Structures are given as C-alpha cells and as structure tokens.
Amino acid sequence: MIKIIIGIVFIVHGIAHISGFLAAFTKNRQGFKESSWLINESVFYRGNIARIFGVFWLISMLILIAGGLSVLFEWPYAFPLMMMGCLLSALVMLPWL
C-alpha cells in the first residue's frame, strides 16, 4: 500500500513540473515570478537561461514520473531515479522561489 502511495505522489509531483517547462516556453508565467532572485535581476524567465532551466524542468518531470512508475511496477533502480528526480526538482525551483 505504501509503495502505491509513494509511486502516485512521485508521478503527480512529476506532472506538476510541466508548469516550469511551460512557463519558460509560453507567454503564460504559470504563477512564477518574472525575474530570478538568485541569478541577476536582468535575467527574466523569457531569456535563454530560463529556457535552459525549462529543459531541466522537463527532465526532472520525466525522471520523477519514471521513479514513480518504477516504484509501482517494482522495476530496478527505483531509489536512484527518485533521488535524482528530487535533487533536480530542488535545483530547478531554486532561482524562482
């Protein structure tokens, strides 16, 4: 039962990461601030750096979904996938908190 809950939480968390990807590649900011507090105030969420972060959001989404599926179906490498997904998730959110 706990594996099902953990797997679903990781899948939903991964799906939620699509907002960061969409914010970088569409006109809708998806609730994110326009500029970063970490990098430079002149770097906006529409620039090249933001698009690089958007790709990392997408990669994080895919890794988190793969980690959740690996828990549900008991595939090998579930723990490393979940850890990589969590770390990348934390890193991509950092500049726009």
pLDDT 10s digits, 5-37: 999 999 999 998 888 888 777 776 555 565 555
HSE of 13, CA atoms in CB hemisphere, 13 A: 21
As a whole number, mean pLDDT of residues 65-72 equals: 94
> When comparing pLDDT for 43 and 4, which is higher?
4
Between the two ends of the chain, the Cα-to-Cα distance in Å is 33
Amino acid 2: pLDDT = 92
Cα–Cα distance between 58 and 51 in angstroms, integer?
10
Amino acid at 46: R
What band does 72 get if pLDDT is binned at 50, 70 and 90? very high
